[in-house]
């Protein structure tokens, strides 16, 4: 990032190659599988470019970029709500990424369906920690909450996900 701040195009390409796939999956989760995730990804990296001088080298780049992505998503959601009030539109049905370590809990489809039923704050913290590997301190910084609240949201989300998947398995039996 320091090289990018100094004007290195190669440094930007390295950052983009390393972070874009994970940021895209995160945005897909936030927009519930909508096709606008790619637009938000580009806007995220545009915001990174605009804010590169403000980046503090004492902090990791990855959580900073994910925080930018979340802010881009929130700005887009506010704009979409204003537009929806004017035009009364509906979005497509959501799709969710699947937690890799949750495979033993149920099928990919079952996990997606149960994730869709979790409260958004729980599913976001759960995915940030378990899917993308952020620490609770990093999640706290991204979401503007305490590390304890981030841990609690992820823990409640995992507990609710397990319960929902167990209920599905019992219903099939």
Q: What CATH number is attached to the domain comprising 73?
A: 1.10.1740.10
| pLDDT at residue 142, as a whole number | 85
pLDDT digits (tens, 9 = 90+) for 22-51: 999 999 988 887 788 999 999 999 999 998
Average pLDDT, the chain: 83
Residues 38 and 71 in one domain: yes
**From CA 67, how far away is CA 141, in angstroms rounded?**
8
Indicate whether 61 and 5 sit together in one domain. yes
Burial 94-130 (b: 16+ CB within 10 A, else e): eebbbbeebeebbeeebbbebbeebeebbbbbbbbbb
- Residues spanned by the domain of 28: 1-95
Verify that 116 and 60 share a domain, yes or no.
no
Q: For residues 170 and 90, state if they share a domain.
A: no
pLDDT at residue 79, rounded to an integer: 73
Q: Are residues 69 and 133 in the same domain?
A: no
Does 83 have pLDDT greater than 70? no
In this predicted model, which residue has the larger pLDDT, 35 or 136? 136
Residues 87 and 112 in one domain: no
Final residue in a domain of this structure, among 62, 95, 128: 95
The last residue of a domain, from among 61, 76, 95: 95
The pLDDT assigned to 81 comes to: 67
Whether residue 87 has pLDDT greater than 60: no
On whether both 123 and 82 belong to a single domain, the answer is: no
Q: Which of the listed residues 79, 95, 111 is the one where a domain comes to its end?
A: 95
**Which pTM was predicted?**
0.56
Q: Looking at per-residue confidence, does 76 or 89 come out higher?
A: 76
The fraction of the chain above a pLDDT of 70, given in percent, is 84
User: Is the model more confident about 128 or about 20?
Assistant: 20
What is the C-alpha to C-alpha distance for residues 14 and 104, in angstroms, rounded to an integer? 34
CA distance 23 to 67: 10
Reference 30, options 68, 65, 63, 77; nearest CA is 77
8 and 78 inside one domain: yes
With pLDDT > 90 as the criterion, what percentage of the chain qualifies? 32
Q: Is 102 in the same domain as 86?
A: no
Q: Which residue has the higher pLDDT, 86 or 62?
A: 62
Task: Report the number of distinct structural domains present in the chain.
Answer: 2
């Amino acid at each position: 990032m320091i090289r990018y701040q100094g004007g290195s195009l190669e440094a930007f390409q390295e950052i983009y190659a390393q972070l874009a796939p994970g940021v895209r999956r995160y945005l897909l989760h936030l927009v519930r599988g909508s096709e606008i995730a790619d637009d938000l990804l580009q806007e995220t990296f545009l915001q990174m470019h605009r804010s590169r001088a403000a980046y503090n080298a004492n902090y990791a780049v990855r959580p900073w970029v994910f925080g930018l992505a979340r802010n881009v998503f929130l700005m887009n959601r506010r704009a979409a709500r204003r537009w929806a009030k004017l035009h009364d539109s509906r979005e497509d049905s959501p799709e969710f990424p699947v937690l890799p370590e949750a495979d033993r809990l149920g099928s990919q489809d079952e996990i997606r369906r149960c994730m869709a039923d979790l409260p958004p704050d729980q599913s976001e913290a759960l995915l940030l920690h378990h899917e993308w590997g952020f620490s609770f301190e990093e999640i706290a910084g991204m979401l503007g909450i305490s590390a304890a609240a981030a841990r609690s949201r992820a823990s409640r989300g995992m507990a609710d996900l397990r319960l929902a998947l167990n209920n599905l398995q019992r219903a099939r039996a």
